[in-house]
Amino acid sequence: MSGSGLAGMSLLMRMMEEPFFDDKQILVVDKAPKQQNDRTWCFWEREQGLFEPIVHHQWQLLDFFSKDFCTTLQIDPYCYKMIRGIDFYQTVQRKAITKSNVHFHYEEVKSIGNENGKAVLTLPSGKISADYIFNSILFHEPKIAAHEYMLLQHFKGWVIETSTPVFDSGKATFMDFRVSQEEGTTFMYVLPVAANKALVEYTLFTEKLLPQEKYEEALVQYLSQYLGIDSFTIEHEEFGIIPMTNHTFPSVDGRVIYIGIAGGQAKGSSGYAFQFIQKRTEAIVNSLKNNHSLHTDRSFGVKKFRLYDSVLLHVLHYKKLNGDKIFADIFRKNPPQRVLRFLDNETSLWDDLHIMNSVPTSIFLKAAIQEIFR
Ligand SMILES: Cc1cc2nc3c(=O)[nH]c(=O)nc-3n(C[C@H](O)[C@H](O)[C@H](O)COP(=O)(O)OP(=O)(O)OC[C@H]3O[C@@H](n4cnc5c(N)ncnc54)[C@H](O)[C@@H]3O)c2cc1C
């Protein structure tokens, strides 16, 4: 396993759950052990997933705000779930201690490749070969071709604590677009875990990052203007960048299998990756057990959703419509369950038609035709 972040550790956890892998030697390589709470994952789910025991908080009511449309989404049977990075890493590490066939090694990976029918990982201290390498390291930024788009989803979040109870921990703010849209598609989200504690995050879909102080100014202003919070302590802070792109990432190269962001598992039009990584790692485990191909699904369904992602990225890239208007239209005209299914790449063509009918046809149809004939 090359990389022990979300994808590497999810795959490891799934392998450790299966007796099939008990007699296989598994080496996990990362530049450093995971000891920090470096990120918080949110995702929606209908059933209980593999990581249910470490779900930190969950909500079935989600507020959506934009300048001209606001609503509370009741997402039942879905739950919007939060997992803290540190809980995730520690859970997988604790399980790994009980497995004599799982080993960790901490060193910077220089490169990976194939030699004489084996996968080979190159470290400063030497080379390691294996039957397979599952790689989640993005060695360099993807080279974006002329027909591809690349936006950055960048965000800064604070877990804040207030001295008085101000939050309703039964309801989260999924997206609040009432903030300035001057930089491009920009929203806040608020995830209360107690009456006096919440993760508040400022998120943008744009081409360039902002100076750090701009994220902080926006957070302070939002807390004051929309939540009436002028006094708080910051318990934790996180900053992240997720590529939003229709670039084709590698899937399998000989005995090297790409997973996670490096394998293109962040959805191009939303940046959500947690559930896509779970689906991919589950599929890999099943393929290994049943001796099936490790390639990613290339069915019509997958191509269909790639096209939708490209169309949305096209519209955002050429600034034909801002994201606040698009999401407002979609949430105004569809039940939230359909929107969540759509964002999960799980809708039928009938559902898709409803979503397409919600947004301005003149803009989206033109963009779709251009993307199809590229
Ligand atoms: C702050 C943050 C919050 C996010 N929140 C959400 C969310 O709420 N919902 C959601 O769906 N997605 C979210 N994402 C997107 C996505 O789920 C995460 O980026 C996720 O961690 C991706 O998993 P990964 O395994 O591909 O990469 P990572 O988790 O980043 O793992 C890559 C690993 O490779 C290691 N590594 C890198 N280079 C080397 C090297 N040369 N040698 C050795 N090791 C190396 C790193 O140390 C790291 O451990 C978030 C991303 C960030 C950054």
H/E segment holding residue 40: strand 40-45
Query: Average pLDDT, whole number, for the chain?
Result: 96
Minimum CA distance residue for ligand 1 atom 32 = 5
Taking the C-alpha atoms of residue 266 and residue 262, their distance in angstroms, rounded to an integer, is: 9
Q: What is the pLDDT of residue 344?
A: 97
Examine the domain organization and report whether 138 and 156 are in the same domain.
Answer: no
As a dihedral over the C-alpha atoms of residue 124, residue 127, residue 133, residue 134, rounded to 10 degrees, the angle is: -10
Examine the domain organization and report whether 224 and 156 are in the same domain.
Answer: yes
Contacts of 39 (CB under 8 A, 6+ apart): 85, 238, 240
Examine the domain organization and report whether 29 and 136 are in the same domain.
Answer: yes
Q: Does the pLDDT at position 297 exceed 90?
A: no
Mutate which of 9, 14, 31, 204 for ligand 1 pocket (most atoms within 8 A of beta carbon): 31
Taking the C-alpha atoms of residue 278 and residue 81, their distance in angstroms, rounded to an integer, is: 14
Separation of CA 360 and ligand 1 centre (Å): 35
Minimal CA–CA distance to 16: which of 96, 103, 82? 96
Taking the C-alpha atoms of residue 30 and residue 34, their distance in angstroms, rounded to an integer, is: 9
Token pair 């027909």 is found at 147
Closest-lying ligand 1 atom to the alpha carbon of residue 260 = 26
Examine the domain organization and report whether 237 and 96 are in the same domain.
Answer: no
Does residue 33 fall inside a structural domain?
yes
Does residue 67 fall inside a structural domain?
no
Taking the C-alpha atoms of residue 353 and residue 340, their distance in angstroms, rounded to an integer, is: 15
Q: What is the pLDDT of residue 300?
A: 86
Examine the domain organization and report whether 254 and 125 are in the same domain.
Answer: yes
Q: Which residues line ligand 1 (CB under 6 A)?
A: 3-8, 30-31, 39, 41-43, 108-109, 136-137, 238, 240, 242, 260-262, 266, 272-274
Does residue 66 fall inside a structural domain?
no
Separation of CA 5 and ligand 1 centre (Å): 5
Across residues 103-125, what is the average pLDDT?
97
Separation of CA 349 and ligand 1 centre (Å): 32
Examine the domain organization and report whether 269 and 285 are in the same domain.
Answer: yes
Amino acid, res. 97: I
Contacts of 4 (CB under 8 A, 6+ apart): 12, 28, 29, 30, 34, 89, 104
- If one counts the domains in the chain, the total is 3
Whether cis (ω within 30° of 0) applies to the bond prior to 77 is yes
Separation of CA 274 and ligand 1 centre (Å): 10
Mutate which of 158, 274, 345 for ligand 1 pocket (most atoms within 8 A of beta carbon): 274
Minimum CA distance residue for ligand 1 atom 23 = 6
Contacts of 98 (CB under 8 A, 6+ apart): none
Which pair of tokens denotes residue 347? 């809708």
Separation of CA 6 and ligand 1 centre (Å): 6
Please answer whether residues 366 and 356 qualify as being in contact, where contact means their C-beta atoms are separated by less than 8 angstroms.
Answer: no
Separation of CA 301 and ligand 1 centre (Å): 26
Mutate which of 137, 241, 344 for ligand 1 pocket (most atoms within 8 A of beta carbon): 137
Count CA atoms within 13 Å of residue 81 on its CB side.
21
The domain that holds 204 is classified in CATH as: 3.30.70
Minimal CA–CA distance to 133: which of 144, 115, 118? 118
Q: What is the pLDDT of residue 10?
A: 98
Express as a percent the part of the chain with pLDDT over 70: 100
Cβ atoms within 10 Å of 92's Cβ, excluding its own: 22
Across residues 243-272, what is the average pLDDT?
96
Does residue 295 fall inside a structural domain?
no
Across residues 323-347, what is the average pLDDT?
97
Separation of CA 356 and ligand 1 centre (Å): 32
38 is in which domain, residue-wise?
A: 6-58+75-142+249-290
What are the tens digits of pLDDT across the range 175-207?
A: 999 999 999 999 999 999 999 999 999 999 999
Examine the domain organization and report whether 10 and 121 are in the same domain.
Answer: yes
Across residues 290-307, what is the average pLDDT?
89
Does residue 25 fall inside a structural domain?
yes
Taking the C-alpha atoms of residue 128 and residue 252, their distance in angstroms, rounded to an integer, is: 19
Examine the domain organization and report whether 207 and 84 are in the same domain.
Answer: no
Express as a percent the part of the chain with pLDDT over 90: 95
pLDDT: which is higher, 349 or 298: 349
Banded model confidence at residue 374, pLDDT cuts 50, 70, 90: confident
Count CA atoms within 13 Å of residue 368 on its CB side.
12
Q: Does the pLDDT at position 281 exceed 90?
A: yes
Across residues 331-354, what is the average pLDDT?
97
Q: What is the bridge-based pairing of β-strands 118-123 and 111-115?
A: antiparallel
Q: What is the bridge-based pairing of β-strands 61-65 and 171-176?
A: parallel
Minimum CA distance residue for ligand 1 atom 48 = 5
Q: Does the pLDDT at position 118 exceed 90?
A: yes
What residues pair up with 240 in beta bridges, in sequence order?
155
Separation of CA 85 and ligand 1 centre (Å): 10
Closest-lying ligand 1 atom to the alpha carbon of residue 3 = 34
Separation of CA 150 and ligand 1 centre (Å): 18
DSSP 8-state class, residue 297: P
Examine the domain organization and report whether 124 and 227 are in the same domain.
Answer: no
Examine the domain organization and report whether 237 and 359 are in the same domain.
Answer: no
Q: Does the pLDDT at position 298 exceed 90?
A: no
Does residue 315 fall inside a structural domain?
yes
Q: What is the pLDDT of residue 337?
A: 98
Banded model confidence at residue 79, pLDDT cuts 50, 70, 90: very high
Q: What is the pLDDT of residue 296?
A: 82
Does residue 306 fall inside a structural domain?
yes
